[in-house]
Structure 1
Amino acid sequence: MLTFDDYKAKISIIQILEDLGYKQDISKGKISPVFKLTDGTGNKLDEIIIKNPHSVQEHYYDRNYKGGDLIQFIKNHINDFPQFQHQNTFVRINMILGHYANEPYTPKYEAFKTVKTENKSFDRDRYKEFPTTIADLRFLTNERNINHQVVEKFLPFITRVKDLQGNGNYYNIGFPYINPTDKDNKVTNYELRNYGFKGMAAGGDKSNSLWIADFCPHPQMAKHIYFAESALDAMSFYQLNANKIKLEESVFCSVGGYISPNQIKNTLSRYPQAKVHTCFDNDLNGNLYDIKVHGIISNSEIAIKENKDDVLFKTKGREFSINKNDISLESFREKSKIVAPMISHKAEKAKDFNEILMKQHEQKKSIKL
C-alpha cells in the first residue's frame, strides 16, 4: 500500500488542477505557475499558485485555504470529488490519490485566457426551473450541513435549474438573481451549485443584480441587510446566528464571489432604512470587500492597489499602506478616518461560515466513532 509520501512522488497538484478545469495563466511566469478557474462567462472563481512544481516539495497557495502539500490540497478541496464517497475522510483521500496515481498524465499546456470572451446576453428561456423541495436539496443539507429548518425558511428563494443547452440530463441548485431596482423582480442570472460544481448562468447580469432572500413584509420595514459572497455563506451565517436575528426584519444577499458597486447601491436604494452587515470570507479578499462596501456606503472614492506585502489605499486627501496581515475594516477606519454605519462579521477560526458548519459536522462524526 502506498504512503502519502509515495503519492506525492507520483502525483502533481497540477495534474489534479487541470483535471478540475483550472488553466495556467502563462502571463504570471513558469517558475511558480498560477492556475485559474473561471465560470462560463470568464469570471475568475479561484486562483492557485504552485511552488516547486512537479517535485516532492510541491506546495500550493490559494485565497481560500492558505496552502499546503498534495494531501492538504485534496483534503481542502474534498467536495470537488463527488465521485469518491466514504464516511472516513482519510479513506476518501486515499481513494482519490489511488485514482490519480493510476491515471496516465500528460500536461495539457492549455493557457488561461486573460481576455474574456464576449459576453452573450442572458437567455432566460435557456434555464428551466423545476419545483423544489427540501428532499431535492441534499447538496445543501448532506454535503454542506445546512440544517433542514434553515433550508425550509430559505426555500422560497431557491430553485432547481436545468440548462437546456447543457450536456447531460441533470439539474443544478439555482439561486435566482434580480436587480433590486426592478419592481417586476425579473430573473437576470443564477448562482449555480452542485456536487463538484459552482458557477453562474451564461450571460447573466452580475454587475447590477444579486441573490436576495427578503423576509420583510415591505422593503421599508427591512432593518438589516446581510451581504455574503455566496448564498451558502448567507444561509450558514443565519444558521449560526438564528437566535440573534429577527427574520421578519432581515434581508440576505449574495454578491456571487466578488462585488460590483451597483450591487450594493441598488440594494440600498431598495432598502433605505436597513443597516448593512457584511459576512465575507475571513481572508484578504474578504477584508477588502468589507472596505469596498464601506466606501460605497460612505460615498467615498477608494483606490486600492495590492502590492507584495501590503495594500496601498488612496482616499480623498489621504494615502496610506496597510500590511496584508493587518488588513481589516477596523484598521482601514483608523487610517482613513472614514466611518460608515456598517458591521463586519467574520467566521471565527475558519475561512467562512459554511466551513464552521462543516467542522461541526466532522466533530460530531468523530465523537460517534
Structure 2
Amino acid sequence: MGLKVKKTYRFAIVTSLYITLFFTSLLVLYFLLNADFSWLLILLASVSVFLFSVFIIQYRSEMFIYQRVKKIYDDVSLLDSAVLRSQFITTDMATLEKEVKKYAISKKIELENLKVREEYRREFMGNVSHELKTPLFTVQGYIDTLMDGVKDKSLRDKYLERAQKGVERLVYIVQDLDMISKLEMGDVKLQYTDFNVVTLVQNVFDMLEMQADKKNIILMFDSKYSKPIRVRADQEKVQQVLINLVMNSIKYGKENGTTEVAIEDFINNKVIIRVTDNGEGIDASNLSRIFERFYRVDKSGSRNEGGSGLGLSIVKHIIEHHNEKIYVESKPGKGSVFSFTLEKAK
C-alpha cells in the first residue's frame, strides 16, 4: 500500500516547491548577472526556503482550516468546544465530510423516531380516552337513571350491578396503567425467590376455573408433572403473567375448548412456559402489535369481554423486566401459543 499523505501536507509541499523554484530561479539569475556563481550556496538557500515555506504554509493552512472546521463542529454540535481545544482536530475534509454525514444520518433517524413516537402518542391518547370514556358514560347513564327514580327494585339492582361493572373496569384500567408506568420507569423492584412453577400454574387454574367453566373451557397441563420445576423469578409478577395469558385464552377461546400449559427445558439453564389455546387465533398482520397498550385485534367485540386492554402489554413488560423473552405464534381459526422463558433455580 502506498504512503498516505495528509492533504494539507501535500498542499504545503507542492506550494512550497513552486515558491522554491521561483526563488531558486531568481537566485541563479542574480549570481549569473554578478558572475559570482555558487551551486552550494544556491542549494542551501533553496532548501532553507523550501523547509521554511512548508512549515509556514502547513501551519497557516492548519490554523485556517481548523478555525472553520471547529466552527462547523460547534454549529452542528458534534463535539463540545472544550473537547476540541484539548484534543487533536483533524483538518482533513474527507474526515469532516464523514462526520457531517454521520451527524445528518443520526439526526434523520432521530427525527424518524420522534415521528413514530408522536404517532404512537396520538394513538395511545386516543385509546386511553376511548377506554375510559366507555365505562364512564356507562356508569354515568345508569346513575342518572337511578337518580331520576326507579321504583322497581329488580330493575334498580340491575342498573346498580351494571354501574358496578363499569367502575370495576375503570379500576382495572387505572391499576394496569399504573403498573405499566412503574415498569417503564423502573420503579418496580423484582423480588426474586425460588419457587415451583408447576404449583403456581395450578394455583392460576384454580383461580380462573369459574371463568373457564362459563365457556366449558378445560384448563390443563400438557402432561403430568410429578416432580417440581423450580425457577428463580418474582413469583407474584410471574403469577400475574400467567393470569393474564390464561384469562386471554379463556376470553378469546372457543366454547368447549382447551387451554393447555406446557413447561419445557430451554437453552442456557432456562425453562420455557407455553400457554396454548384452540381459540379464534390472531392474523399475521396483528401479531407484531398485540403487545401494544390498548391494541385490540377485534376492534368491536373484544371490549364486551371486559378487562383493561393492557394485559398483554403488562405481560411483555414483566417478562422483559426479568431480562427474559416472550414469543407468540398464532393462526386464525387454529388458536395461539404464548411462550416465555424463566431462569431455573440453582
TM-score range, shorter chain: under 0.3
The normalised TM-score by structure 2 is 0.24
The normalised TM-score by structure 1 is 0.23
Higher helix share: 2
Structure of larger gyration radius = 2
Kindly indicate whether structure 1 or structure 2 has the higher relative contact order, using CA contacts under 8 Å at least 6 residues apart: 2
Higher strand share: 1
